Amino acid sequence: MKTYYNPDDLKKFGNISEFEPNLAKKFFDYYGDVFKEGALTAREKALIALAVSHTIQCPYCIDAYTQDTLEKGCDEAQVMEAVHVAAAIRGGASLVHGVQMMNKYKELSM
Amino acid sequence: MSTKSLFALNHELATAKNQVQFLESTLQVPFSEKLKAQQLFPLSVKPLEIFQVNVGKMCNQVCKHCHVDAGPDRREIMTRETMQLCLNALEKSGAHTVDLTGGAPEMNPDFRWFVEEISKLEKKIIVRCNLTIIVSNKKYHDLPDFFKKHKVEVVSSLPYYSSVKTDSQRGEGVFHKSVQALKMLNDAGYGKEKSGLILNLVYNPAGAFLPADQLALEREFKSKLKSNFDITFNNLFAITNLPVSRFLEYLERSGNYVSYMEKLINAYNPAAAENVMCRSTLSIGWDGYLYDCDFNQMLELKTGLPESKQHISAFDPELLQQRHIKTGQHCYGCTAGAGSSCGGTVA
């Protein structure tokens, strides 16, 4: 292993069934169902997936869902807004803990 | 964005021979193997429905993905004599539709004459209009009325409902002009309910990826074009870009060729292969030679008929029905996912 991430590994995702086929099948069936058109459109789900990909900073997911959102007809403005949603929630999640910090600060202060 | 064709730039991939060599030299599953696996090889034809006539490579645009390598610098156009041969053949054929394409077909000086003559034969006429031609010059401003007079079905490319993606593929300012032209077509009754005048749009991806679900895209385009520009249309066709000519050159130059082909191959759909449009279409080149489809035409892959029967002057409907379609690696573009044809998805 020369690098931790290899773009070609994305194509091999299905190979995880090699070591444990039953759980892999359950996962991929579930995965497939999640992304089907439902109460949300497949396009909306792809944008959510893209945003989450950035939150968890998964290069495979960013690769896959950038392609997927393009294939679902999204444009530059839409994909970047999705990333900002991720960034806002992620930043907000840090910042909202400031309340906890302030609580503690006040608790300890005269 | 280049304003010259690959032909004018003397690019290596300007010749059909080099393109075919490039496509066939890569180590990928041969298209014929896929057909063989479902007992479709060699691919036979179905009853002829559509005469697709390419009246020339001249165009007012130089789109990045154009499989024709069309542009203002191309001079190859169909003569009235060849058009007459097409009309003679059309009368003998069982085809119900004539699909006129180019380049910008309207730039052929005999285009209107040809439409009028086809109209007399009571065939359905489709014109693949790039929209901007309508507003490019005063002499084309009456095209919507001309189309209306002959009940022409208008099929127009619009890769997106906003300018960034459209202009990146089709050239600076194309979106704005396309909107103007669409409004003129709407004013003539095109794309309006109960008018009987059909205006269909064509979406094709502005890059190395596959098109979205056709119905979902149509929904999106209808809503955005209506709310942003008060434009209406009938149907949207989602078309896959085939690795031919400028799109092939783009794939090669951008380093996307291998992954794009893999994507097409992995998305091979047997149902789409059954229904590919070449099985019921005859494609005629500007010089009157016969092909199985417009892509084969650009790759100069003539029909498998004997040499003496390969021109429209020797049109032989019975012999044509016995032919097998010439296929190659580019054909994966028509069989990926929901399939692709000049009328959108096929599966």
What tens digit of pLDDT does each residue of B300-324 get?
999 999 999 999 999 999 999 999 9
Whether residue B213 and residue A67 make contact (CB cut-off 8 A), yes or no, is no
Please indicate, yes or no, if residue A15 is contained in any of the structural domains: no
Residue A90 pLDDT > 80 = yes
Please indicate, yes or no, if residue A59 is contained in any of the structural domains: yes
Please indicate, yes or no, if residue A5 is contained in any of the structural domains: no
pLDDT band at B165 (very low <50, low <70, confident <90, very high): confident
Whether residue A71 and residue B211 make contact (CB cut-off 8 A), yes or no, is yes
Whether residue B216 and residue A72 make contact (CB cut-off 8 A), yes or no, is yes
pLDDT score of A23: 97
Residue B1 pLDDT > 80 = no
Average pLDDT along chain B? 95
Q: Nearest CA to CA, how far is A71 from chain B (Å)? A: 5
Please indicate, yes or no, if residue B25 is contained in any of the structural domains: yes
Please indicate, yes or no, if residue A2 is contained in any of the structural domains: no
Please indicate, yes or no, if residue A10 is contained in any of the structural domains: no
Residue B190 pLDDT > 70 = yes
What average pLDDT score do residues B177-184 get? 97
Please indicate, yes or no, if residue A50 is contained in any of the structural domains: yes
pLDDT score of B285: 98
A67 touches chain B (CB under 8 A): yes
Q: Which domain range does residue B127 map to?
A: 12-335
Residue B2 pLDDT > 80 = no
**B206 or B288: which leads in pLDDT:** B288
Whether residue B213 and residue A72 make contact (CB cut-off 8 A), yes or no, is yes
A41 touches chain B (CB under 8 A): yes
CATH of the domain at A24: 1.20.1290.10
Please indicate, yes or no, if residue A13 is contained in any of the structural domains: no
pLDDT band at B164 (very low <50, low <70, confident <90, very high): confident
Q: Structurally, how many domains does chain B consist of? A: 1
pLDDT score of B168: 85
Q: What is the pTM of this model?
A: 0.90
Residue B14 pLDDT > 90 = yes
- The DSSP bridge pattern shows strands B199-203 and B153-157 to be parallel
Tell me the pLDDT tens digit for each residue of A2-59.
888 998 899 999 999 999 999 999 999 999 999 999 999 999 999 999 999 999 999 9
Q: Structurally, how many domains does chain A consist of? A: 1
Cis amide leading into B42 (omega within 30): yes
Q: Nearest CA to CA, how far is A69 from chain B (Å)? A: 9
Please indicate, yes or no, if residue B340 is contained in any of the structural domains: no
A15 touches chain B (CB under 8 A): no
Residue B27 pLDDT > 80 = no
CATH of the domain at B321: 3.20.20
Tell me the pLDDT tens digit for each residue of B236-290.
999 999 999 999 999 999 999 999 999 999 999 999 999 999 999 999 999 999 9
Q: Which domain range does residue A86 map to?
A: 20-108
What average pLDDT score do residues B168-188 get? 94
